[in-house]
Structure 1
Amino acid sequence: MSSSSENRHDGTVHQPELAASAVSSTSTSTSNTPTNNTSNLSMRKLPPPEKPEDIQKRSFIVGSFWFVVLFLGLPIWWKTTTIYRAELPLNQMMGWADGKACDPVFPIRIDIDAPALQDEEIQNLVQITKRALDTTNDFPSHRLELEISRSANIIQTNDLVRDSNTTLTVRLTPGDIAASFLHSHAPVLEITYSPNSIPPSGAVTSDFATYLATQLREAFAEERDVMSYLFATSSMPSERRPQGPPQDVASSLSKRMTRSLKYSRTYHLTFSLFTSGPVPSSWDIDSAIDEYMRPILDMLGPIHNFTIDTQVQLYATPGVQSQVLSKEDLSSFINAAEWPLSPSIGGAPTVNFIVFIGNQTIGSVPETGASQSWLMPQWGSAYLLPPPSTNHVPSELLKQPVLTFTSHLLSLLGTPQSGPLPMRLSTLTRIRSVDLLLRASSSLGSLARLSLALPSISIPSSVADGVAKSMYHLQLACSNLGGTVGLEHARIAEAEAERAFFEKSMVGQLYFPDEHKVAVYLPLLGPVGVPLFIGLLNQVKAWKNARREKAKTA
């Protein structure tokens, strides 16, 4: 019994010891957990708090970068990349283009010479004729001014137009019936009248005065048609244009305008002798020009200047080998690849006159007939001569070619086809003045519309100067229409307007759109702009955190 009791006693003693040991181990394991967390936090070191002076220094650095960008970089970029646009008088330019700045009126002085009439009779006749002209005037650009001639003798020379302001002289002579004819060499209109057709003093109307007004209008009919065509084909608004010529007349004038050269103050005339063999090797062209063409060139002096040179080319091969040339062969007869044709000298347009000596002849076709010459639009003229019997071409043999060249030169210059030559040259002055006036006005209007349509295009100061000069000379031309002074001002105005419109530095900007600028700046803005904006955002965030901490402590 004692032994069993001891065994039970031992059992009761050992069980509490095991439990205590288990509790002790549990308490030990639980007490080790906070110790490990504290060690992990101590291993992760937090950055020390920033000093206020460090934050301020970083703010100064970021601010300095932005200061340089905003107040130094951007102004320099804006100054160096801004497109310069000189100020243009756009309203005045459009006024010229629309025909509002100038109403072209050409005063045409007509002298009435009636030695058989009394002063009162001729004065009354002139007054009634003026009223008849005003009544039937459907072309306001023509202002026929009738004056009573005080000269005893009428100058019937080719220098009448140049030495006098008179465009046409009307000579009234008594006769059986009313008739009229225009002199072929002098600007004189001969009109016969019956003595009983003269209106008495105090009369308001007269059949003879109406007939006289009709004859004066017919004398300037071609000039009126040409001017109407120029106005109708200009860029002027339709409500400002006068009525154009009939369709058939307009078609004929279109061909003439296409054939004639653009106006220039100076032309270079080149006379070339081309032979198919070794002879002839010389020609008397200088004396032929002086004798047969020089008088016409002198008359053209107030309108054009001319420089002349000559050349001889042996063994010249034409572009067409056939002996009988058809109409289709004429366009390829000139062998421009091998013939040394003189180019423009000194900027003046060249007019080529070629005499070819060979076996070629022009076939008899309706367009050319049996002629030995043909006119090449805006280029010159060619004449075919048979081979002479000598080695030298005398001036007598060159008479017909030079006279033909003179006629072709007048056609290339745009000279009217009807009337005496002095009157035709006076008409040519007025026609060229209108043409240049309209061209200059159209160029100014195109430049104004271009500057409004493309606000990014550059307008250098030279363009503004050209526009100012053009408008100045346009005003002078409009004030002196009808003479060579107005023609010269119109020529300068057209040249300045063309130079301003085709300015090289301005035209280059037409092919540089805004999309190209974006493509140029994007690669630069990315690397430069991203660090600046990130630094600014971080600084703003730090500033907000500092204010929040300051508010908590307060």
Structure 2
Amino acid sequence: MSSSAVPPESGRIAVAEVATTASPATPADPKSPRTTGGIQTPLDPTRIVNPSRRRRVLILLSFPLFFLLGVPFWWWSTSIERLSLPVERIAALESAPVTTVRSTILLTSAPDAYPPPPPGVPSYGPRQVCEALGDSVIKSTEAYYKQGGRLGTRWWDMVYEGGGRDAPALHVHLLRSEYASTDFPLKPYVQTPHLGLAGIPGPGGAAGGVKAGTLVIPIHPKQVGDRYLREHLKLAITDSILGLYPSEPPEIPLRAIKYSPNVTLSFVLLNEDAAEGEYVQGWDIEAAIREHFTPHLEPLRPIFNFTIESQMLYHAPLSFEPTWTDVASQGEDVKLQIESALGEAEKGKEGAEEVAKALIEEDKREKAWMVDEEMMKVFVNSERWTLDSGISQNPVLRFLLFIPSPSHRPLLLSAPSSSPPSFLLPQFGSVVILNPPSSAPTYHLTPPALKSSFHLFTSHLYSLLALPGTPPKVYPCPPPDPRMEPSGLRDGLNRWQLESVARQRMRENEDEARKTLVGIGRLVKKIKEMQVGEEVRGRVVGAVDRLEKMAKTRDPLEAFVLSRDAVALANEAFFHPSMMGLLYFPNEHKFAVYTPLFAPIAVPILVGMLKELVAWVRRRKLRAKRRAGQPAQPAPTDPTAEEPAGMEPGGLTHSAADKLAGIGAYVSESSEEGSARGVDVVGLADLVIVGPATDRRGTLRARPSRAAQPAS
């Protein structure tokens, strides 16, 4: 049967009219490809490549299903331990005032340190005398704080009896001594372990029963009967306590190191260049440390643990070249002579001007090497000097004794300084320059030769550790006999100064511990996934307990120990590995980790599910229209073509409609073969169905092209 040709539409390359014919009823081999007229139909590769709708849905749903099945394991493997922290107690500590320990001062007196009562007047014992004197000292101290708008509080109480182990650590004693000064005002001092005016030392280093660290008010026998002795005693005790125990501990300067329980002291002798000769080959460092440093380090044992090391370097070159210039000696006698000569020259005295010029010329030394302030900043050559003999996490204070080479002697500082020249390096250490005489090829520094240098090192130690000095109203401890010369060494720290250091460092530790605990609470609150294990929680609770106990103690050293332990526990909790793991891992990093894993899988799954959803909605609408009796719009058909029986309106069966998507692929692959057989091959975008395309079995037949049709 022939059919008339349908003229192609405008803009189409070719329009194929597909007709249906009855296929021969021959059994089909399921393994052999289905062909029509010797041509393989597009449904066969389509069935193989494209699964059914049911299978596609199951495949798409399998991915989310496997993901949901893995969620419990993922949840278990990524779950963290997050214990509760004492947030309320930490908040109370943050808003609480700074802890201040209230100490106790014991006031005692020798029986002969005050005048006896006149005849007929009842006598008073030492306790009654001390009570009356203590009341006047308390009133005088409170009046001092109120006078002139001074802000301060008396953080001590006065007691008048006590002894043994329960005796207060701070002690004021009135002592009568033949060697005391006969002039007013009185000259109080703090008793040192060596002999003082108290006489023969007693047990435990006490002198005449007076314990080391006691504030002694010496009274000469001639002063005992003075009518104003009580006022002088009140002034001496008040001024001494205000200087030794201020209301607020001094601020820690920036040049001092931050508190650390363990501190290393490194003493290094540096020869600039031993190859030039005249270098130092040895020094009595142990004797110098024992004489100059031990009296100051021993009292600090409750606060610091010191480790001492020393070494010698034979090649420590400078990283700069000093300046060779003239240096004025500026001796005191020469200065006076120059000033006198200049004064006479101003008065017009003949020859006075020439004398002044001559004195100025004589005052000049021979040229010396100078180190200015800019050179001091780079004096320590860290690249060439090996200053530390070991690796330690403890802070290290370095005391450097520099021996210039003969080509750089004498080496001086341009800024006015003591002899030998020295300067301080904040939070690092200090440098002392020692110029030995040019008289021997090698030198050995004995303790007398090291005395001036280590005296400077001691002063630098006080600055680097923020140790308090002696108040101006407290005098040095005198020798037991005024005929003895003072040692010239700085007295070691006494109990009053030690408590001042304890209060100072206690406040520093308390402030740091509070800030650290508050920071931990904020981090845990902000980062929801931060782990808080039993170790972290135990350290936080321990730090909070110690900070709360500080307010209940009356011993500054005990309060200091609590603050030291509190800051150590707080830092251990903050820098715990479980805390540091998420400290620098915000939520943005999670997206950066999970996105490369799930995005490549999620996109095709979501797109496929969306397509299936759209197809399901279309099918649902089509079924609704069929139930309502509205046939679907048929595709344009050839009016001359016959429609086989059993076809749906529109000429397409459901199976053919489902497989229509594979026609384009089939036509593209079989373009050459179709052209050879006289079949019009068109692109998928230009394919128009104009007639029945399938039979009941869903097979397709290609209609011969117009060029191959016989003339009707």
Fold-level match, TM-score > 0.5? yes
2:84 matches 1:87: yes
SS in 1 for 2:447: coil
Per the TM alignment, residue 374 of structure 1 is displaced from its structure 2 partner at its CA by 1.5
Per the TM alignment, residue 108 of structure 1 is displaced from its structure 2 partner at its CA by 2.4
Residues 537 and 134 from structure 1, CA distance in 2 versus in 1: closer, same or farther, beyond 3 angstroms? farther
Per the TM alignment, residue 392 of structure 1 is displaced from its structure 2 partner at its CA by 1.8
Residues 430 and 194 from structure 1, CA distance in 2 versus in 1: closer, same or farther, beyond 3 angstroms? farther
What is the alpha-carbon distance in structure 2 between the residues aligned to residue 536 and residue 505 of structure 1? 44
Per the TM alignment, residue 498 of structure 1 is displaced from its structure 2 partner at its CA by 2.7
Give deviations 1:383-423, integer Å, cap 9, x for gaps.
Answer: 11122544322222112222322221122111112347212
State the match for 2:422 in structure 1.
373
1:532-547 matches, cutoff 5 A: 532=609, 534-535=611-612
1:105-254 matches, cutoff 5 A: 105-115=100-110, 116=114, 118=125, 119-130=127-138, 133=141, 136=145, 143-149=155-161, 165-171=168-174, 179=186, 181-183=188-190, 185=192, 186-190=213-217, 211=235, 214-215=238-239, 218-220=242-244, 224=248, 226=250, 229=251
1:288-437 matches, cutoff 5 A: 288-322=288-322, 323-342=369-388, 345-358=391-404, 359-363=409-413, 365-366=415-416, 368-387=417-436, 389=440, 390-419=442-471, 421-422=493-494, 423-437=496-510
User: Residue type matched to 2:543 in 1?
Assistant: S
Pairing partner for 2:571 from 498, 509, 524:
498
**Conserved in 2, the CA contact under 8 Å of 1:109 and 1:147?**
yes
**Conserved in 1, the CA contact under 8 Å of 2:105 and 2:168?**
no
User: Residue type matched to 1:287 in 2?
Assistant: A
SS in 1 for 2:93: helix
**Conserved in 2, the CA contact under 8 Å of 1:429 and 1:483?**
yes
SS in 1 for 2:155: strand
Per the TM alignment, residue 543 of structure 1 is displaced from its structure 2 partner at its CA by 8.2
What is the alpha-carbon distance in structure 2 between the residues aligned to residue 271 and residue 308 of structure 1? 8
Pairing partner for 2:604 from 522, 527, 541:
527
Per the TM alignment, residue 334 of structure 1 is displaced from its structure 2 partner at its CA by 1.6
**Conserved in 2, the CA contact under 8 Å of 1:223 and 1:416?**
no
Give deviations 1:209-233, integer Å, cap 9, x for gaps.
Answer: 975774255224656251xx5xxxx
Residues 109 and 340 from structure 1, CA distance in 2 versus in 1: closer, same or farther, beyond 3 angstroms? same
Determine what percentage of the aligned residue pairs are the same residue: 23
Decide which structure has the larger Cα Rg and report it: 2
TM-score (norm 2): 0.55
What is the alpha-carbon distance in structure 1 between the residues aligned to residue 175 and residue 21 of structure 2? 132
State the match for 2:476 in structure 1.
none
Per the TM alignment, residue 431 of structure 1 is displaced from its structure 2 partner at its CA by 0.7
SS in 2 for 1:109: strand
**Conserved in 1, the CA contact under 8 Å of 2:137 and 2:238?**
no
**Conserved in 2, the CA contact under 8 Å of 1:433 and 1:487?**
yes
**Conserved in 2, the CA contact under 8 Å of 1:473 and 1:489?**
yes
State the match for 1:280 in structure 2.
280
Pairing partner for 2:262 from 246, 263, 266:
266
- Please list every run of 5 or more consecutive structure 2 residues that lacks an aligned counterpart in the other structure: 4-17, 24-42, 44-51, 115-123, 193-212, 323-368, 472-490, 630-712
Per the TM alignment, residue 510 of structure 1 is displaced from its structure 2 partner at its CA by 4.3
What is the alpha-carbon distance in structure 2 between the residues aligned to residue 319 and residue 55 of structure 1? 83
Moved more, 173-182 or 468-477: 173-182
What is the alpha-carbon distance in structure 1 between the residues aligned to residue 547 and residue 233 of structure 2? 37
What is the alpha-carbon distance in structure 2 between the residues aligned to residue 163 and residue 380 of structure 1? 40
User: Residue type matched to 2:286 in 1?
Assistant: D
Supply the RMSD in Å over aligned alpha carbons.
4.4
Residues 481 and 377 from structure 1, CA distance in 2 versus in 1: closer, same or farther, beyond 3 angstroms? farther
What is the alpha-carbon distance in structure 2 between the residues aligned to residue 62 and residue 320 of structure 1? 76
Residues 451 and 501 from structure 1, CA distance in 2 versus in 1: closer, same or farther, beyond 3 angstroms? same
Residues 513 and 346 from structure 1, CA distance in 2 versus in 1: closer, same or farther, beyond 3 angstroms? same
Moved more, 403-412 or 120-129: 120-129
What is the alpha-carbon distance in structure 1 between the residues aligned to residue 269 and residue 617 of structure 2? 90
Per the TM alignment, residue 376 of structure 1 is displaced from its structure 2 partner at its CA by 0.9
**Conserved in 1, the CA contact under 8 Å of 2:270 and 2:313?**
yes
What is the alpha-carbon distance in structure 1 between the residues aligned to residue 623 and residue 61 of structure 2? 18
What is the alpha-carbon distance in structure 2 between the residues aligned to residue 222 and residue 125 of structure 1? 20
Give deviations 1:144-174, integer Å, cap 9, x for gaps.
Answer: 121115579xxxxxxxxx9964224253779
What is the alpha-carbon distance in structure 1 between the residues aligned to residue 390 and residue 587 of structure 2? 31
User: Residue type matched to 1:509 in 2?
Assistant: F
SS in 2 for 1:259: coil
What is the alpha-carbon distance in structure 1 between the residues aligned to residue 283 and residue 175 of structure 2? 49
State the match for 1:458 in structure 2.
530
Per the TM alignment, residue 283 of structure 1 is displaced from its structure 2 partner at its CA by 1.5
- Please list every run of 5 or more consecutive structure 1 residues that lacks an aligned counterpart in the other structure: 1-28, 30-38, 48-53, 153-161, 200-206, 230-255
What is the alpha-carbon distance in structure 1 between the residues aligned to residue 258 and residue 72 of structure 2? 49
What is the alpha-carbon distance in structure 2 between the residues aligned to residue 163 and residue 284 of structure 1? 42
Pairing partner for 2:99 from 84, 92, 104:
104
Per the TM alignment, residue 139 of structure 1 is displaced from its structure 2 partner at its CA by 6.2
**Conserved in 1, the CA contact under 8 Å of 2:152 and 2:247?**
no
TM-score (norm 1): 0.69
**Conserved in 2, the CA contact under 8 Å of 1:268 and 1:344?**
no
What is the alpha-carbon distance in structure 1 between the residues aligned to residue 183 and residue 312 of structure 2? 59
Moved more, 401-410 or 428-437: 401-410
What is the alpha-carbon distance in structure 1 between the residues aligned to residue 625 and residue 601 of structure 2? 37
State the match for 1:472 in structure 2.
545
User: Residue type matched to 1:122 in 2?
Assistant: C
Residues 505 and 194 from structure 1, CA distance in 2 versus in 1: closer, same or farther, beyond 3 angstroms? farther
What is the alpha-carbon distance in structure 2 between the residues aligned to residue 176 and residue 357 of structure 1? 48
User: Residue type matched to 2:412 in 1?
Assistant: I
Per the TM alignment, residue 197 of structure 1 is displaced from its structure 2 partner at its CA by 6.0
User: Residue type matched to 1:224 in 2?
Assistant: E
State the match for 1:72 in structure 2.
69
Per the TM alignment, residue 342 of structure 1 is displaced from its structure 2 partner at its CA by 0.3
Per the TM alignment, residue 347 of structure 1 is displaced from its structure 2 partner at its CA by 2.0
What is the alpha-carbon distance in structure 2 between the residues aligned to residue 448 and residue 141 of structure 1? 33
User: Residue type matched to 1:171 in 2?
Assistant: L
What is the alpha-carbon distance in structure 2 between the residues aligned to residue 43 and residue 127 of structure 1? 130
